[in-house]
Amino acid sequence: MRDTYQFDGVVTVHSKLDFSFVLKHMKSEFVSGSSVGKKVPLVPENTASLNLIYRVDLKQSISYGVTYIGSRNPDGDMSNQYSMPSYHVSDLRYV
């Protein structure tokens, strides 16, 4: 079973500057078998992404983003005994 709630959007701060975001909460668990009711490995409950995009002109932009991945169970941990820590990644892009 997988239930997902997502909230996202884009806000134009200035004619050349946008702020975008995605917030997601996901509940994912086994509904049959020996692991019924346990969380599915490698699926974080919470993730978030925030981005700031500056348009230099019509063909160029610079963006900075931060992505958060919540804690989750490692691959193969069907009994949910272990947990992988949450982490975040930052990206700077020129396109």
> What tens digit of pLDDT does each residue of 22-77 get?
999 999 999 999 899 999 999 999 999 999 999 999 999 999 999 999 999 999 99
Q: Name the pLDDT band for 13 (thresholds 50, 70, 90).
A: very high
CB neighbour list of residue 19: distance below 8 Å, 6 or more residues apart: 10, 11, 13, 50, 51, 52, 53
pLDDT above 90 for 1: no
Question: pTM for this structure?
Answer: 0.85
